[in-house]
Amino acid sequence: MTPPVVLAVGGSDSLGGDGIQGDLRTLSALRVYGTSVVTSVFARNTRGIQDLYAVPANVVGAQLTAVLDDVPPRAVKTGAFVTPDACGAVTARARAGALPNLVVDPVLTAAEGQRKGLAVAMERLLPYALVATPNREEASALLGWQVATPADMAGAASQLAAGGPRYVVVTGGDLVVGSEAVDAMWADGSVRMLHAPRLTAPNRYGSGAAFATAIAARLASGDDPPTAVTRAKEFVGRAIWGAARWRLGSGGGPIDHFGWSA
């Protein structure tokens, strides 16, 4: 059987746990075929980003054309953009209806002088998203106010949904709320809180990208958005626990996309 196709758009990550490399691992683990468009190249290890290179917007556009014209995806996930122009190239294809079941993980990685412009460019992409998955920091940057509490997360999800995305999940995995991790999901005109046991495992690198990519994989496989979100959360939880005893590098390591530790 020909597998469903998901297009991942984002940065190349030299560590391999995040970005395009992490996206392709997630898609393979969930048995969908991943294609990719590289927007940037990150020199990164477990200690952080050492350097980055922005792929020119015309090259981003050429990659999009090459893939979309020959291997149409059932779902698309976007991650890191470094320049507003690269984000704009993707937005143009979304506006034309070429990016079905679009999941936007609004990663705002840019030089200080371009961060505001990138946030504006991301705001133009978000109306075409079926699902948006900002964390608290990203939601704060997009909205211009600090998203600090679960109540703030609920308000942020509602405000972002007013801009166009049909579903918004503001993730709060880094927020300490007793023994639980709490996300806020806007769906069908209201916000509900998603509760799960808080995972204290040390290796969490790539979990946010894996969550958004897993949603896209499940949408491509036929799930409705709320089910896709639930199953994506389960996938990320298993991946975090699977890597709990890994010792890759001297900093925060990647998650176990393939269940190698099972």
User: How many domains are contained in the chain?
Assistant: 1
Query: 249 in a domain, yes or no?
Result: no
In a domain, 43, yes or no: yes
The burial of 195, by beta-carbon neighbours within 10 Å (0-12 exposed, 13-18 middle, 19 or more buried), is given as middle
Helix or strand or coil: residue 63?
helix
Report whether 30 contacts 36 (CB < 8 A). Answer: no
Domain enclosing residue 28, as ranges:
5-242
Could you tell me if residue 166 is inside a domain? yes
Q: What is the CATH number of the domain that holds 215?
A: 3.40.1190.20
- The confidence score (pLDDT) of residue 113 equals 58
pTM of the model: 0.96
Residue 241 has φ and ψ, to the nearest 5°, of: -65, -35
Distance CA 210, CA 204 (A): 10
**pLDDT of amino acid 200:** 81
Give tens-digit pLDDT for 224-249: 999 999 999 999 999 999 999 999 99
Stretches in the chain below the pLDDT threshold 50: none
Specify if 248 maps to a domain. no
User: Residues 174, 234, 15, 80: is their CA dihedral positive or negative?
Assistant: negative
Q: Is residue 252 part of a domain?
A: no
pLDDT attached to residue 262: 63
